[in-house]
A and B are shown apart, each in its own frame.
Chain A
Amino acid sequence: MQALHQKAKELLESGKVQVIIGYGDGSGDRVRPVFISKAESASDLIWDDRCRQNLAVYLNKPEIKKLGVPAIVATPVVVKTIIQLISENQLKSSNIVVLVVDNDVVSELTDNASLEAYSAGHPVVFPPFVVKEIKDIAEMSIQQRNKYWQDELSRCFKCYACRAACPLCYCERCLTDNNQPQWVCVASHAQGNFEWHINRAMHLAGRCVECGSCTIACPVGIPIGLLTIEASRIVKQEFGQEPGLHCDADSAMSSFKVEDTETFIK
C-alpha cells in the first residue's frame, strides 16, 4: 500500500494526472470508490482483497471527466474493461494512467501493448459460487431455466443500478429512455422486466468483461451478470472472440470477415 500511496503522490505532484480513481474505506467494513485530486490525500487509497468493484465505470462519467486526466487503480478486470473501452472508441490509452499493483509493486500501464500484455497474463477467475451458479443453470432444462429467470426477474423493480454499475453501458441515452418509440416497456412487470434484461444481455453480447458489477449492484440480489456472461461465452464459442484482450479488436457481432467459413451469410 505504501508503494501505491507514493506513486499516487508523485503522479499528482508532477501534474501528470489531475485525479486518482481508487478504492478507499467506506462505512463499516465496506470499500468505496475515492477520487483523489490532492497529493496529501494520497494515503486515503487502500488496496486489499475487498477491492473488487469495477472502477472503470467512472472513466466515462461526464462529472469525472471534468476533473482532468485520471489515473486509475486497476484490478485485472478493470484492465480488461479499459481494453474493451479502447476497442469501442470510448477511451485512449494516452489519456489515462492505469496503475496495477502486484505484490506491493505499482506499475504504470500507459500504452495499448502494455495493457494487452497485462490482460493476457491475468485471466479473470470467477469466485467458486459464480462457477457453481453457471454450472447449475447450464444443467437446467429449458423449462426449468425459464422458470428460474421468471422467478428471479420478477423481483426486479427497474432501478437500473445494473446499468449504472456497468462500465460498458456508456450510452448517453439508453434505449429504455427512448420513448419515440417506447421500445422497452418501462413498467416493472414480467414483460417489462424481461424486455429490459434481454435487451441488456443482447447489447452486452461479446462485450461483457465478466466483472460482476451488475450483480453486486443489484439491490434485490438477482444474479443478472450470469446472462451477459453466458452471452459472451456463446460469442466466444461461435466466433472465437473474447472481449478485453485486444485494443483494436472488431466487434464480433457487427463485423464480417471475408475468410469466415460460415456460408449462411452469403
Chain B
Amino acid sequence: MSRIGVFICHCGENISATVDCEKVAKTLASMPGVAHSVDYKYMCSDPGQSLIRSAIKEKKLTGVVVAACSPRMHEPTFRKACAEARLNPFLCEMANLREHCSWVHAKGDATTDKAIDLVSMLVEKVKRNKPLFPIKVPVTKTALVIGGGIAGIQAALDIANAGQKVVLVEREPSIGGHMSQLSETFPTLDCSQCILTPRMVEVAQNPNITLYTYAEVESLSGFIGNFTARIRKKAKSVDEKLCTGCGECATACPIKKIPSEFNTGLGMRGAIYVPFPQAVPNKPVIDRSRCTYFKSGKCKFCASKCPAQAIRFDQQDEIIEIPIGSVVVTTGFNIKETSFFPEYGYGKYKDVVTGLQFERLLSASGPTLGEVKRPSDGTVPKKIVFVACTGSRDPAKGIEYCSKICCMYTAKHAMLYKHKVHDGDAYVFYMDIRAAGKGYDEFFRRAIEEDHVNYIRGRISRIYERNGKLIVRGADTLLGAQQVEIEADMVVLATAAVANDGAESLAQKLHVSYDAHHFFAEAHPKLRPVETNTAGIFLAGACQSPKDIPETVSQASAAASKVIGLFSNAELTREPIIAVVNRTAPPLFSTCVGCFMCQSACPYHAIEQEEIKTREGKLIKMVAKVNPGLCQGCGTCVAFCRSKSIDLQGYSNEQVYAEVMELLS
C-alpha cells in the first residue's frame, strides 16, 4: 500500500490568493493511499523542506507530491530534500499549482477544484513511480569548435587555456571570419585586425589547439562526452609542412581576375591564394574550380616557381575521425547581397554596396588601402547615403527580425567616411536607432553632433541611376512623410544579417534544432542561452542570431565555460528519464519483436540492436536497446512501438495512463 505525502504550498499569496490551499490539503488527506497532507506558506523555505523531511521519516512515506510552482523552478530543491530523508528523489513529483492554476484563474471554487484535480493526478502517478538512479557516462576531454571566426577563436582559446584539448575546424583557408574583414570596430574605433590577429596567432601557437582550416564536419555521431566527429580536410593542393608561405606561387599564378571573397568582390585574387596577408595559417590553397591546371591539365606555373616544391596537384580530400567530448558551434552569419533588393537596383549599380563591402573600402588592408573610392570609377564620393534596415524588420522580405548590428555600424561608417572625406556629406536613412550597449548611444550621438551626419527617419522606396549619380528617393517621416530625393555618389545598404550558408544541413548533421531563419536554437532563451537541446553541444555568436563582437565574445567564453565545466568531471551524471526496452520471463525474454521502427524514428540515434543469447551463445532474438547516454527521453519511440515494449522511465505509460484516468474519474 502506498503512503504518499502531499505538501501544498501557498507560495506567499501567489497560490493561496485564488486557491483554497487548506481545502486542497484536507481533500487530498482522504484520498486512498495518501498518508499525510499539509499546507504551508513557503514549501521551498528551509522550514518548509523540514516539514517534508520529517514527514518522510515519521510517516514512513513511500512517495511525495509537492504542489507548488513549476517543476522547472524547484523540482531539484524538493528532490534533494527527499534524498536527504533517504527517499529516492525520483519518488518525489511536483504539481504545478501556480503557473497552471492560481496565476491563470480567478478566485473561486472551480479554481480550487482544478487544484485538487492536479494534485490527485500526481498522487496517482507517484503511486506508480519507481526508484531511479542517475546514469553515469565517461567523458572524452577534447572539444570540437566548428567555425574559426571570433566566436570560435575565443571559445577555442578559453578551453585550451583551461588545459583541455581543442580541435578547431574552419571551412575557409584561414581563420578570422567576418571580424578580419572589418575596418574599425564600434564604439571605440579600434582597428579590427589589430585586435583580432594576435588572437589568431595565439590559436596557431597554442599546443592544446589542433587547427584544421579548409575543412568541414562530415558527420557527428555519439552523445555527450562521447561524440565521434568525421572531418573532411579538403585538398589544399599544397604540402603544408614544406610550404614556407613565401607567396611566390600566388605571384606566379597567371589567373589574376578572380573576385576575392575576403575583399567582398572589390579586389582580385589568383587561383592559388592566401585570403589576406595576416591569414592563419599563412599557407596558400589552390581553388580547383578556377585553376587552369585542374580545368585544362596544363599550366603548373606555381609549381615551377615554388622554392620548396610544396605544390601537390594529386592531393586528395582526407577524412579523419576524432573522438570528441563536446562541441561548440560558432559558424557565424552572412549578409544579404545587394542583388536581393530589386528596388535598389538588383545589384546592378556598382556604387550601391553592402555594409561589408564598405568595410573593405574603409580598411587599410582593403582594395583601396583605406581610401573611400567609388567601385565604378575610383573617384572619391562626395555624398553617401546609408540605408539602415535593408531587408531587416521587413516581413515582406521574409526577415521579420532586427539584424542588431546595423544601427551601430552604419553610424560608424558615416563617421569614418566623414573622418576621411572632410567635405563629404553623409545621410543615414533609419527606422529606429537601437543603440543599447555600453558606450553605444554616446557613439551614435557623436556621429550626429560632432561629425554632422544627417539622420533622416524614413525608408527608401527606390534607387536609380541618372547621369552617373544615384538618385535615392524616400520619405522623411518626421516631416510628415515629406518626399526626399538625394543625388548621391554612393549608397551603402545595411543589408540583413542571415544564417550562414549550410547552416541547415549542419544543424541536421549535429541534430540540433534551428529556427525558421536557419539560426540555431538555444535550449532556453534566457536561462540556457549557449546550450542547444542536444546535450554536450553549445552555441556561440551569430550562428544563433545576429550579434556584435562584444556579445559574441562573451557568449563564446560562456560556451567555453560550459565545456570546461563538462570536462571537469571524470564521468557525467544524467537524469535517468530515458526510454527502456522491457524484459520479460522466458520464452519471450522481451515483448520487443525487433521490427526496429523505433530505430528510424529516434531523432537522437539512441536506439541500437541487441542480441539476446542463450548461455551457450545461441541467438534467441534481436531486440531494440536504448543507449542511455544518447537518449533524451523524448518518448517518440514509445509512441511508435506497436507492442508497447518500450517505456519511458519516470513517465511510463502506466503512470501517464493513471494520471489521465484520475482526471477523468
Contacts and interface: CB of A to CB of B under 8 A. Distances in A.
B594 interface: yes
Interface stretch (A30-38, A178-186, A225-233): A178-186
A178 B642 CA distance: 11
A193 to B, nearest CB: 19
B110 to A, nearest CB: 29
Given A180-B654, A250-B600, A175 B595 contact: no
A90 interface: yes
A102 interface: no
B600 A255 contact: yes
B597 interface: yes
A251 B595 CA distance: 10
A183 B514 CA distance: 35
A171 B593 contact: yes
Contact of A251 (B591, B600, B653, B658): B600
Contact of A175 (B514, B597, B598, B643): B643
A265 to B, nearest CB: 10
B587 to A, nearest CB: 8
A251 B597 contact: yes
Contacts of B653: 181, 183
A170 interface: yes
Among B587, B588, B591, B642, residue most surrounded by chain A Cβ atoms (within 10 Å): B642
Given A89-B596, A170-B593, A175 B642 contact: yes
A170 B653 CA distance: 22
A90 B593 contact: yes
Q: Is the interface of A mostly helix, strand, loop or mixed?
A: loop
Given A88-B595, A90-B595, A254-B597, A175 B644 contact: yes
B508 interface: yes
Interface string B626-648: 00000000000000101111000
A258 interface: yes
B596 A172 contact: no
B71 to A, nearest CB: 23
Contact of B643 (A89, A174, A251, A258): A174
Given A89-B595, A90-B593, A181-B657, A254 B640 contact: yes
A35 B655 CA distance: 45
Interface string A178-203: 10110100000000000000000001
Contacts of A180: 654
B354 to A, nearest CB: 29
Contacts of B514: 266
A256 B640 CA distance: 13
Q: Which of B514, B588, B596, B643 has most chain A Cβ within 10 Å?
A: B643
Given A181-B658, A254-B601, A172 B588 contact: yes
Contacts of B640: 253-254
Contact of A173 (B622, B643, B657): B643
Contacts of B595: 88-90, 251
A108 to B, nearest CB: 25
A254 B598 contact: yes
A254 B645 CA distance: 16
A250 B594 CA distance: 14
Contacts of A181: 653-654, 657-658, 661
Measured as residues with beta carbon below 8 angstroms from the partner, the interface class of chain B is 20 to 34
A258 B588 CA distance: 36
A95 to B, nearest CB: 12
Contacts of A203: 642
Contacts of B657: 181, 183
Contacts of B603: 256
Interface string A230-255: 00000000000000000000110111
Contacts of A178: 643-644
Contacts of B600: 250-251, 254-256
Contact of A171 (B508, B601, B642, B661): B642
A179 to B, nearest CB: 10
A64 to B, nearest CB: 15
A180 B656 CA distance: 11
Contacts of B597: 88, 251, 253-254
Interface string B494-535: 000000000001001000001010000000000000000000
A257 to B, nearest CB: 10
Nearest to B637: A254
Contact of A89 (B516, B588, B594): B594
Contacts of A173: 584, 588, 591, 643, 645
Nearest to B595: A88
A89 B654 contact: no
Interface in B238-267: none
Contacts of A183: 644, 653, 657
Give the most central of B505, B588, B596: most A CB within 10 Å: B596
A174 B645 CA distance: 10
B508 A258 contact: yes
Nearest to B584: A173
B76 to A, nearest CB: 29
Contact of B622 (A89, A255, A266): A89
Given A89-B594, A89-B622, A172 B643 contact: yes
Contacts of A258: 505, 508
Contacts of B596: 88-89
A172 B589 CA distance: 11
A173 B508 CA distance: 36
Contacts of A266: 514, 516
8 contacts: A89-B594, A89-B595, A172-B591, A178-B644, A181-B653, A181-B661, A183-B644, A256-B600
The list of the 6 closest CB pairs from A to B, nearest first, reads: A181-B657, A254-B601, A171-B643, A173-B591, A255-B600, A254-B597
Interface of A: 62, 88-90, 170-175, 178, 180-181, 183, 203, 250-251, 253-256, 258, 266
Given A171-B643, A173-B645, A174-B643, 18 more contacts: A88-B597, A171-B593, A171-B642, A172-B591, A173-B588, A175-B642, A175-B643, A175-B644, A181-B653, A181-B657, A181-B661, A203-B642, A251-B597, A251-B600, A254-B597, A254-B598, A254-B600, A254-B601
